[in-house]
Structure 1
């Protein structure tokens, strides 16, 4: 095939893959052995930053944008009038190796539209990973998008060659999926996820007894859902996430704001993109659930079904629950310290370590990096009285927002003066 045709395919199928955001850091520890190429150890994957500040990248493409389904929210839906293309298995292998040798990428994220059948498509995704591992001796990061409805046998094989697997559940609720993708069945998404979870559990168990047990999806599995296409509240979205985290032990759930791509009476109208701030608030809530000890019902409930876009969800919870404050940083346990707005987990750990040697005052907290513009209203320490002074939640919110805005304007003012 000509170079020009390969370039055209790459342009089409890389552009189609941009809507999939569930392809970030891995946590994989696949090491380079036997003089192979690539190494997934100790680094994240995708166009993002690792903990030590390095920017890493991967080849992110679809195997094909042909699809047998007509999901209303999807750019590759079969009724959409777009250019279609498909890579052969060997073409993806060659592209990956050539890009890696030129230092363009550090791994591969491979997804696909569904053509012919789920198993037919999944076979080809697995074949790419298998060729890279066995024929090219490639030890770089590989993330395969699992195809809903694929057989258990293919899912088992996929995990032997990929570092991470993911099945996008696409729409947060069963009702939303039925409305926008009536040809799809929710169970088809759950089946491969369940298989991967069982295989990971089995691998971890066998590894304790037999050290040479082949790795199985060492970076786990993730999923993604589209936000704003089917009208779910933030409460419904986060309960869905909570279910998948607890039921399938996922590494990550990703939230992708719906971008109108064509007219359909079942969807929000063109020009009504989901604000990125809503995505951000959902990620913050997700973080609070996974690392700060919050339950969904504390942040989102029938009285507060959607997140406040003006303040982060931890501050929003604190403003609605002022009866828990002020918290004494010299006495409170880890869980309560983590609920103080302005305190991240690093600050919490610093506080717990430092207070073993002395009582902490305002200056100590400042040096630890505590965001005092918020935290001072919710805590007491060894050198300062409580700041809130009987303010209500709405009053306190107004003060915090005003201070934040003033600080932001102060930062911007030198640049603005240049244009006055």
Structure 2
């Protein structure tokens, strides 16, 4: 690798680190015709200490940008080193890194130089070269450029496994404050294009078997959290709307990292702790997999998530009238709502109780967090009833008994702000 390419890679890989929407699961693209690479049921990935995926070659095509978004390190007014890859350079880097087993795929985003179509056209050329000329069957996540033409967005979807476009801020007002040149309407337009085309191709595939795949791993978006004063309710209501309207696979929540002294934004050193980001992801999980309506978790009375406890426990403490449930007779959906019981444990409970009444030792063997769940359930040998306790006592007991290193680290982190 030449020194020139190495310098570009250092600059453009560093600029790409602020985009956390690089999930790599969900594709089943198979190797055909003796091509190179195979995603299988999703690619192998490793994670950094804070949980971000680092298995892809994650770069920007360029960090030149015509926009001046206050929260973005690549904004036009920022005095940083600029660089741009050529189409050939990105293709060669991807193939060389893949052959050396450094990566399993490509995550490609870009600043916008000249205009949206000019940038999108070059990104499209890269993915076409990889698929058609290099016969690369590895994973490709392509960021869509806001304002790009429908034809280019649609064509790109035939070569990418996943596509995404950043919502940036949770609300239109927050976006207008920090990035007045951008609009949520552009994001909705392109998310809508991908959604509609996916439906079209899936319908055609039922009739014509050789219909090509279109964005098989779906689409996602990302919001920056903490740069503008939205509540957790504002953030999660927006996420819920986009999940429902655009069939998103994921919404990512990126805690704001101060990069400027802009008076419109939080001061450097006062960014929200990562605990808030984690609580938002936990809430997102409850919405998608635990059958919670977002209004149950966040509403006018509770516009922000509890810092001390996770959102499922917080909901349970506010709704003690639903508990205790009898673990031997309750339906699956209600068992899922018990703090300390996850999806697999709930499935095991439903399966195991067919053979007899469950006892405490059996629940522990199944793998539930009994120290937490015991306050909300009854089983064959439960020692007491929930109604004998109050919410604040349960909360204090759980916090006192918790041995979670993460909780202790989070509490220490909160003391810094």
Range into which the TM-score falls when normalised by the shorter chain: over 0.9
Superposed displacement of residue 44, structure 1: 3.5
Aligned pairs for 1:1-80 (under 5 A) are: 3-44=2-43, 46-48=45-47, 57-80=55-78
* TM-score (ref. length: structure 2): 0.94
Local SS of the residue matching 1:48: coil
342, 345, 358: which is aligned to 1:344? 342
Partner of 2:414: none
Partner of 1:415: none
> 1:408 and 1:161, CA in 2 relative to 1: closer, same or farther beyond 3 A?
closer
Post-superposition Cα deviations, 1:249-290, rounded to whole Å, max 9, x if no partner, equal: 000000000000011010000111221110110000000000
198, 201, 204: which is aligned to 2:202? 204
Whether 2:82 is the aligned partner of 1:84: answer yes
Post-superposition Cα deviations, 1:308-344, rounded to whole Å, max 9, x if no partner, equal: 1110000000011101000111111111000000000
Superposed displacement of residue 384, structure 1: 1.7
Matches of 1:385 and 1:149 in 2, distance apart?
62
Partner of 1:101: 99
Superposed displacement of residue 387, structure 1: 5.0
Local SS of the residue matching 2:200: helix
Conserved 8 A contact 2:24-2:139 = no
Local SS of the residue matching 2:355: coil
Post-superposition Cα deviations, 1:109-128, rounded to whole Å, max 9, x if no partner, equal: 00000111111111111111
Post-superposition Cα deviations, 1:55-110, rounded to whole Å, max 9, x if no partner, equal: 97110000000000000100000000000000001100000000001111110000
4+ aligned runs moved over 3 Å, structure 1: 44-49, 385-389
Matches of 1:384 and 1:346 in 2, distance apart?
22
Partner of 1:402: 400
Please give the root-mean-square deviation of Cα atoms over the aligned residues, in Å.
1.7
> 1:199 and 1:75, CA in 2 relative to 1: closer, same or farther beyond 3 A?
same
Local SS of the residue matching 1:161: coil
Partner of 1:181: 179
> 1:389 and 1:190, CA in 2 relative to 1: closer, same or farther beyond 3 A?
closer
Matches of 1:318 and 1:357 in 2, distance apart?
29
Aligned residues: 404
Matches of 2:206 and 2:54 in 1, distance apart?
32
* TM-score (ref. length: structure 1): 0.94
Conserved 8 A contact 1:164-1:221 = yes
Unmatched 5+ residue regions in structure 2?
410-417
Conserved 8 A contact 1:220-1:251 = yes
Post-superposition Cα deviations, 1:152-201, rounded to whole Å, max 9, x if no partner, equal: 10111010000000001000001100111011122111111100000111
After alignment, is 112-121 or 55-64 more displaced?
55-64
Aligned pairs for 1:294-305 (under 5 A) are: 294-305=292-303
> 1:90 and 1:200, CA in 2 relative to 1: closer, same or farther beyond 3 A?
same
Superposed displacement of residue 388, structure 1: 3.4
Superposed displacement of residue 386, structure 1: 3.2
After alignment, is 364-373 or 383-392 more displaced?
383-392
Matches of 2:222 and 2:44 in 1, distance apart?
17
Conserved 8 A contact 2:323-2:386 = no
